[in-house]
Chains A and B, each alone.
Chain A
């Protein structure tokens, strides 16, 4: 079942089309990575999917509702949206206030909401009364993500959730995104990080010049090297190394597989 559907969607705001005749569908419970170069239209597509923008022509259907016919609040009840820049999202002074703010607009009841709040604060390792102005960009990014996830959205649209995060924050964010999906949420995530896409997503949507140029399983996109190059995407590092080596190594997709191939080669040499 398709939970998000774009039907011949075009969008522009006075300076030419940012998206042109875009059509695709996203299955319920799937995890889709959205990739493409700067200015390709990724963030615009996300905002249309979350009903923060309306198409100029065509139609976006989310959970069976047309975004052109309903108010944004109707979609906000089941959609979580993480902005690329956390400062566009954060509107309160402390961690607890920020996370509680979005919770007010969900179906979660008082006790349930309180529990979700304290659990999420603990899982992310925040000090609840911390003043947001004293947080670094990475910490604000994590807070913005936590504030979206605490609402347990059915649809999660995340615009570059891991950019600017350090190793520990990245690991937590990646795990939380995977957890949202395991809980049954449908995830659409913009990323330039192909390692993250490989780790989390089943499908990838590639955007170039405001149009969809590919929509396929991640593995299939990675193996189309011409498409990757055309779309300014890079392979994961291990795949880049594998491609340079060629031969037996060409298909290695992880450090483990690479090590296994070397060991086998050495065994054959000894024999």
Chain B
């Protein structure tokens, strides 16, 4: 679905490579999680896949990004948007309508979704993010988290084949974060390819089928969630915030009490301890 070949990118006005000789393959149907420190190239990578780099955010672009076999340089973000849903980190710049309902409706009308389908799609995404009570609310009166939910709902309502989300849980409460990832997982099981970048890999590793760790514009680690999360030293040196369960397993390993991998979720962390205390 996504093939990135030897991609380097330098933003206009900058001398530093935001991406440096990056090659990555994300197969159709994957749930890919990208993590890394601030400035590591996560957002640029996602923007390149959506065609925003270099079509809107200009700079020097080397290598190639192919989405569904189409080189993003040979097409436009508008054409890509027919199948690619993108939500950037700065959601405020992406929201243009006055109310929650209008914001969701805007994309649906622009993509000429048949009239009879529109209400069903709005209701589905409203339910996904518990937005029904806010349907007529002005966006200016929403909290940060409620805006984030609205922006996510507007993108998901378009039923993209490929969904790209940059730091989607940044302003969500823990319950909303959990619901978001469950919803993404459900979309993924229906065939939607998902690429999300998160500063904290704790939630990603529970849902992602593939993970990539970025550092200084390069993919320094690629693999299954388990393979990536077991590389705790490399994650630390890449500035990635480890979940506390990884710190716990690391401490227990350092004390010679544990030899297994990083538990990917809370129940497996509890299982790890049960195993040690028996």
Contact = CB atoms under 8 A, between A and B. Distances in A.
Interface of A: 13-15, 36-40, 42-43, 84-85, 87, 131, 134, 136-139, 160, 163-170, 192, 195, 232-234, 236-238, 240-241, 244-245, 249, 255-256, 258-259, 261-263, 265-266
21 contacts: A14-B141, A36-B173, A37-B145, A37-B173, A37-B176, A137-B38, A164-B89, A167-B242, A168-B37, A169-B38, A233-B173, A236-B244, A237-B202, A237-B248, A241-B266, A245-B274, A258-B252, A259-B257, A262-B277, A263-B255, A266-B277
B269 to A, nearest CB: 5
Contacts of A244: 266-267, 270
Nearest to B35: A166
A88 to B, nearest CB: 9
Contacts, number: 141
Contact of B276 (A40, A166, A238, A262): A262
Interface string B235-278: 01001111111011001100101000000001101100110110
B269 A170 contact: no
A242 to B, nearest CB: 9
B251 A259 contact: yes
Contacts of A14: 141
Most B CB contacts (10 A, CB to CB) among A38, A42, A192 go to: A38
B241 A170 contact: yes
Interface string B118-139: 0000000000000000100110
Contact of A241 (B174, B273, B277): B273
Given A37-B173, A138-B39, A167-B242, 14 more contacts: A15-B141, A39-B134, A87-B92, A164-B89, A166-B40, A166-B199, A234-B175, A240-B266, A241-B266, A245-B273, A258-B252, A262-B277, A266-B257, A266-B276
Contacts of B273: 241, 245, 249, 258, 262
A241 B14 CA distance: 46
Given A87-B90, A137-B89, A233 B174 contact: yes
A265 B173 contact: no
Given A134-B13, A255-B244, A38 B138 contact: no
B38 A166 contact: yes
Given A37-B173, A236-B244, A166 B277 contact: no
B29 interface: no
Contacts of B248: 237-238, 241, 255, 258-259
Contact of A164 (B40, B92, B199): B199
Contacts of B92: 85, 87
B277 to A, nearest CB: 5
A241 B255 contact: no
Most A CB contacts (10 A, CB to CB) among B137, B142, B244 go to: B244
Contact of B39 (A139, A237, A238): A139
Contacts of A192: 172-174
A79 B185 CA distance: 43
A92 B202 CA distance: 35
Contacts of A249: 273
Nearest to B258: A262
Contacts of B146: 38-39
A141 to B, nearest CB: 9
A67 to B, nearest CB: 21
Contacts of A85: 92, 144
A189 to B, nearest CB: 15
B139 to A, nearest CB: 12
A136 B167 CA distance: 12
Nearest to B138: A15
Contacts of B236: 167
